[in-house]
Structure 1
Amino acid sequence: MRYLYTLAMYLVTPLIVLRLLARGVRYRDYHRRWRERFGFYQGPLPLVRGSLWVHAVSVGEVNAAEPLIKALREAYPNAPLVVTTVTPTGSERVRQLFGDSVFHVYLPYDLPFAVSRFMKRVRPQLAIIVETEIWPNLYFACKRRGIPLMIVNARLSERSLRGYRPLQGMVRSALGCVRQIAAQSRTDAARYRLLGVDPARIVVSGNLKFDMPVPYDAVPAGEELRKQWGHLRPVWIAGSTHEGEELPVLEAHLQVLKRLPDALLLIAPRHPERFKMVESSVRSLGFSAATRSADRVPSAAHQVFVIDAMGELMQFYAAADLAFVGGSLVPIGGHNVLEPAALSKPVLVGPHTFNFEEITLTLIREGGGVRLAGVEDLGNDVLRLLRDKPQREAMGARARFVFDSERGAVQRVMSLIDKQLQE
């Protein structure tokens, strides 16, 4: 099965190159660094033997890995740290968080020659995959070279489990190369067991995202923003939205404006290539709009503010009265509800939250969040909360309680890493 998989990877390589070219039209970083996808890159040649390698596919995984990478840097100051991502936005987030203190390169495609070239250059003493990325050739390459491989903050949705079933034999063999799986929850651990992973190699460590640091300047920055548009003005935010979500969000805001004419909507599209498109949609619907790139902050005359910048979401969560977390009105699976929860904000989500299943359920069960029954409920729920400050404050306090009570995963994962390195 793996040979057939590898043959298929070679056959689709021309399509992969075309995809890189096409995506590079919108995002130039795809053009500049496409060679890294095949194991060629500029940098230390070779890196000092014994690097610690952390792979985080995109922005969400990089954010989840932030406290772990900082803990690794502190515990092993002499070990070079290599961080790989798949997306340019993930790469940019690595640069924002860590600068030159880690070496970033794109993860190569799962082609044997590309994986081999990458391994020869990086030569890790430990490989750490954040969340779930199962690449058979990469995993077998680690096993052949005797590199301990861990999956940390491991999650496996029911949807992903069903997707792996036709390839279960190959997936089981690939996961047999993994020394340790640190699962986010008991449910995730059970799903890995269903894939055939030895239960002795699975532990439940909790979710690293609960240990994410709340930026020290997020709350003061949020307060400063509120001063500029008015403390009493009702403000809500739609964070990390996807195609198919902005229109319902804007329709909900129209509903809010009928009762609260001075209300302000902050909207943050998930992907930079959609910033201009969302801004155009806002203006075409007749809203008075401003953007982060052009106007910095909205004025009293603006009804919608498009956050067309990366890495600034937390201060806007801090400045809002409540937060809707995107990726949940459409079947993307939802994004990180812990970011607004960490700032004591009530959280609204749609029906599709399988990427953060247990966290979201806990938040809702404890009273810090609300799940919308349907798209049409967004405006009603936003309006209800904007008009009820005591309820908002109570929900925000419960959301922060959930965030605080689940912390400690980084320490548990570091213990597992220490054990692997000692062995």
Structure 2
Amino acid sequence: MRYLYTLAMFLVTPLLVLRLLARGVRSRPYHQRWPERFGFFRTPGFNGSLWVHAVSVGEVNAAEPLIKALQRDYPKAQLVVTTVTPTGTARVQQLFGDSVFHVYLPYDLPYAVSRFLKKIRPRLALIVETEIWPNLYFACRRRGIPLMIVNARLSERSLRGYRPLRGLLRSALRCVTLIAAQSRTDAARYRLLGADPQQVLVTGNMKFDMPIPDGAVELAAGMREQWGPRRPVWMAASTHEGEEQAVLEAHLQVLKRLPDALLLLAPRHPERFRLVEHSVRSLGFTVATRGLEGVPSSSHQVFVIDAMGQLMPFFAGSDVAFVGGSLVPIGGHNVLEPAALSVPVLVGPHTFNFDEITRSLIEQGGAMRVTGAAQLGPDVLRLLLDAASRERMGRDAQGVFERERGAVQRVMQLIDGMLQE
């Protein structure tokens, strides 16, 4: 199975390169740093580095408190952070700058993986959430590198998708020293996939430990003064293709009852920023963007946040937050950012990527599920008109967030034990 998998990886590599070319048409960073994807980059001269892999923005955000804990507890350690996407790369640079060594994770080709490991020489590998690359895992075991999957999650959909490769993945997972799962459900799915039950632990979700950026609340207060402190404001965050139209139609319904309402719209992918802005203008809304105006004024009806990693102040300045990727079958995105700021949360029917967190927020009263696109407008309007319900939901959401904190400390205890060994 491993031989066939490796052969398939070699055969699809030209297609992966073509995909990079195609994506680079819309987002130029995809055309940069190609050699790194094959293990070619300057040798940093490390020996015994701590390596954290976080595929994209969401995983980088989840890993932020863990990386900061590693920097605090192991100040002399050389820290390597890898990503796969340019947006993840930009987020690493924004959060950590030159305090970590960043490189793209190479494709799962034996020689590329070997070059990569020889250059960074890790004494511990930490894979965030759901990245299972058989050749990489086998290479770590062959070199005696302890490997942990931290904040591990595995959706039912992913489990079904992995079934044709179950034998190979079972062998790969047996290369893992520890799997620190977000929940009992995630732990059970990893066991079903073939992980050694003795090596699967439940440590909780590290996203509950994410810090609220310094000054985010103060910045939000300043922005509200500029766009109108009494205006009803709602936010649609991390939206995907097929969702912006529903969000804008919902905002039209809101404007009929609340003509001074403001929508903060944050598309998920940078290559879609310009397209979304054009769509908003074509529908006749008065529009401002983060890139041009910085902050909306009292005359703007929609504000497009065309920047990455800057959502927290806007969440803090909103009365209601809809989290995207959930009206379309993407699986939803992080509902904890608005929850941490006591902002009521709305989600669509598709939240399998954050199933337990979302379900917990809904059960505890901090979030509501929108049954479909047509229901988004009425639900947003109802909350904007009901300050008491917003306050209660926000308080309950923040309570869930506070109760679940502590995963990073539990993961760090496991890391300390492994490094001492």
Task: Compute the TM-score of the two structures, normalised by the length of structure 1.
Answer: 0.99
Post-superposition, which runs of at least 4 consecutive aligned residues in structure 1 deviate over 4 A? none
Q: Which residue identity does 2:21 align to in structure 1?
A: L
Structure-to-structure mapping, 1:180-329, within 5 angstroms:
180-329=178-327
* Code of the aligned partner of 1:148: P
**Residues 151 and 204, structure 2, Cα contact 8 Å, conserved in 1:** yes
In structure 1, C-alpha distance between the alignment counterparts of 2:232 and 2:32, rounded to whole Å: 43
- Paired residue secondary structure (1:294): coil
Q: Which residue of 2 aligns with 1:38?
A: 38
Which of the residues 148, 151, 162 maps onto 1:150? 148
The answer to whether the 8 Å contact 2:182/2:205 transfers is yes
Length-normalised TM-score, structure 2: 0.99
Q: Does 1:80 align with 2:50?
A: no
How far apart are 1:39 and its partner, in Å?
0.3
Give the 3-state SS of the residue equivalent to 2:284 in structure 1.
Answer: coil
> 1:20 matched to which residue of 2?
20
Residue 297 of structure 1, CA deviation: 1.4
Aligned-pair CA distance for 1:28? 2.1
Q: Which residue number corresponds to residue 410 of structure 1?
A: 408
Specify the alignment match of 1:373 in structure 2.
371
> Of 85, 92, 95, which aligns to 2:93?
95
Q: What is residue 136 of structure 1 aligned with on the other side?
A: 134
**1:26 alignment partner AA:** R
Per-residue CA shift, 1:29-85, capped at 9, x if unaligned?
Answer: 2222011000011352xx321000000000000000000000011111111000000
Instruction: Give the C-alpha shift of residue 22 in structure 1.
Output: 1.8
Cα distance, 1:321 vs structure 2: 0.4
CA contact (8 A) 2:209 2:407 kept: yes
1:126 and 1:79 mapped to 2: Cα distance?
A: 11
**Aligned position for 1:393:** 391
Counterpart AA for 1:363: L
1:174 aligns to what? 172
Worse-matched range after superposition: 216-225 or 18-27: 18-27
Corresponding residue for 1:3? 3
Give the aligned residue type for 1:179.
T
- Report how far residue 374 of structure 1 moved: 1.5
Unaligned runs of 5+ in 2: none
Give 3-state SS (helix, strand or coil) of 2:11's partner.
helix
Over the residues paired in the alignment, what is the CA RMSD in angstroms? 0.8
Q: Percent identity?
A: 76
Task: Tell me by how many angstroms 1:311 deviates.
Answer: 1.6
Task: Tell me which amino acid in the other structure corresponds to 2:324.
Answer: G
Q: Which residue of 2 aligns with 1:359?
A: 357
Cα distance in structure 2, aligned partners of 1:177 and 1:23:
33
Q: Secondary structure at the match of 2:292?
A: helix
In 2: Cα distance, 1:53 partner to 1:301 partner: 48
Residues in 2 aligned to 1:273 and 1:190: alpha-carbon distance in whole angstroms: 37
Is the Cα–Cα contact under 8 Å of residues 151 and 205 in structure 2 kept in the other structure?
Answer: yes
